[in-house]
Amino acid sequence: MCGIVGYIGDKKAYPILIKGLSRLEYRGYDSAGIALLENGTNLNVYKRQGKVIDLTEFVDGHSTEGTVGIGHTRWATHGLPNDVNAHPHCSGDGSIALVHNGIIENYDILKKELIKRGHEFKSETDTEVLVHLIEDIKEKSGVSLVEAVRIALNEVHGAYAIVVVSTEDPDKIIAAKKSSPLVIGMGEDEYYLASDATPIVEYTKNVVYLEDEQIAIIDRKNGLRIISISNKEISPYVQELEMQLEELEKGGYEHFMLKEIYEQPRAIHDSFRGRLDAKSGRVSLGGIKDYEEQIAKADRIIIIACGTSWHAALVAEYYFEDLARIPVEVEYASEFRYRNPIINKNDVVIAISQSGETADTLAALKMAKEQGATLLGIVNVVGSTISRVTDAGSYTHAGPEIGVASTKAFTTQLVVLALMALAIGKRKGTIADKKFQLLLDELESLPEKIEELLKSDDYIRGVAEIYKDAQNALYLGRGTSYPIALEGALKLKEISYIHAEGYPAAEMKHGPIALIDENMPVFVVAAHGEHYEKVVSNIQEVKARKGKIIGIVSKGDTAVKDIADHIIEIPKSDEFIVPILATIPLQLISYHIAVMRGCNVDQPRNLAKSVTVE
């Protein structure tokens, strides 16, 4: 969940590292640090609790010379966020510096043994144990730094992406990964390393994604060499980045989250571009084309995901069961592997992840693969681990999402899942031609309808102003709108820190209605559809207890308007795409409330964008 950068070349490393850390700060912002090799003999390490700006203020006035360096922005796992626990961590003699993303699970056993051997530790982190282990092996065995790293990685258990520099090998950077992402950018006689491509795209389009249990040795003179931790030579596979630099800037918006909310019309269009043609009645997802028959004949679809992606999976359950008539189970990836689940060879397992690096989802996929299931991935980041370990899948093409709270990644996931369900339903003949054409038209109209909806932003901001001081909130919905209630509640609590819960509207009577009073805002997705009348009845129940109703309704609605305190209209649409449309105002509500409460919208406390530890 931390962010790693590294550089070796002819340029000054410091500005490249700082800019890279700023681009990666969404991965962790408890503390930040850098290590610079000055003149190949001095290892200058600077680190500070707080954000990257705090680090730059601390470094000001100190030497920033050197053309080799590593950097790190931290999301704390082992040890409190403070200066001492910040990365990089150094060996006892100060000759080796290391940055790390992941968790070393057997660090305590290793630490006790190293203490017996005379090592002294300054921090509470598992990472410091790893750098001392490398130092110990190097000294005791008399091996090279590369060999010491390789031997050490065979002794540790857990997840890691590491980058190592040393005064004894000043023209070399060593990197390795297992279950945490690491990418290498290849320039002209220079190399860049990072946890993802965002710090690299400014300098080169050519990258190598390290695979699990691979070690990269980058030498200033001899270039890139890759070996496995079992010491086998591996030929680097160079890929070209699709990302554009301008996608990583705010573009005049106050926050990345607001920018990404407003990017949804374009992102959704990109998610179905080349896959959907309503005029000709065509849906085709090239990434799963060779597996359509297996999906159509599957006994069951299991969808695994975490957080917002799990909410997308819940909507997909409705899509696949209704349109393709395939039984669906939706699982939290973090719980799936611990339940000893029953997985059969005729099951299809779909993993949903914005980053494509979610550790729990990857672990669940590994289990499913061992049981012989067909694995599909729906991810946003090209070249991510999930996209490589699954049999097939589809990219959402949302573009980089920097705000920690997912917005456009979520709605594009819904679009891709809808397209997949439609394609399989068409292949099976479980969807009538008329309905199929209607839903294609509805999906194709989404960008235009969201553009229309975004024009209500000023009104939505006014609603947010009224409820910005609430202590609690409830979100209600039925059918495919129930997962949207969950998603709306998650958005509010993760960026504004207001306690919020989502429920199926009918479940209010089974307990939560006891919470309703005149101070409780209740957001209800009540667009026209199969459940409309029942949702109106649920709204009446809340009003009878003096709750404040904010209704998300279809344009022209009168029934809810007459009883709600506020309504937010979405364009009239088939209920198939209501989940996507209803999400937009709930995103904006959360955003504006968080801003009004003075919260850090893009970097909410205790959270990181990509959860790469279990």
Is 2 one of the annotated active-site residues of the chain? yes
Report d(CA 271, CA 417) in Å as an integer: 11
Write out the two tokens for 541. Answer: 């129940």
Beta bridge partners of residue 174, listed in sequence order: 164, 217
Structure token pair of residue 445: 């109209």
Task: Kindly compute the dihedral angle of the four CA atoms of residues 503, 506, 509, 513, in this order, to the nearest 10 degrees.
Answer: 40
Residues 47 and 93 sit within 8 Å (Cβ to Cβ): no
State both tokens at 19: 């800019």
Cα separation, 200 vs 381, whole angstroms: 14
The candidate with the shortest Cα–Cα distance to 525, out of 562, 553, 545, is 553
Active-site residue (options: 2, 90, 306, 599): 2
Establish whether 609 is a catalytic residue.
yes
Those residues with Cβ within 8 angstroms of residue 513's Cβ, 6 or more apart along the chain or in another chain: 541, 542, 545
Going from the C-alpha of 390 to that of each of 350, 361, 372, 438, 524, the distances in angstroms are 9, 11, 12, 32, 37
Alpha carbon distance 380, 267 (integer Å)? 11
Q: Hey, what amino acid is at 10?
A: D
Residue 118 identity (one-letter amino acid): G
Contacts of 515 (CB under 8 A, 6+ apart): 472, 474
Q: How many CB atoms lie within 10 A of CB 471?
A: 9
Give the angle subtended at the CA of 50 by the CAs of 48 and 55, to the nearest 5°. Answer: 45
Selecting among 51, 138, 449, 609, the annotated active-site residue is 609
Is residue 436 classed as helix, strand or coil in its secondary structure?
A: helix
3-state secondary structure (DSSP) of residue 127: helix
Give me the DSSP letters along 210-278: PPTTEEEEEETTTEEEEEETT--EE----EE----GGGGS-TT-SSHHHHHHHTHHHHHHHHHTTTEET
Distance between CA atoms of residues 36 and 167, nearest Å: 10
Rounded to 5 degrees, what are φ and ψ at 502? -105, 140
DSSP 179: B
Give the residue ranges of DSSP H helices in 320-429: 333-336, 359-370, 385-389, 408-428
Q: 3-state DSSP call for residue 437?
A: helix
**Regarding beta strands 548-554 and 521-525, do their DSSP bridges make them parallel or antiparallel, or are they unpaired?**
parallel
Active site residues: 2, 609
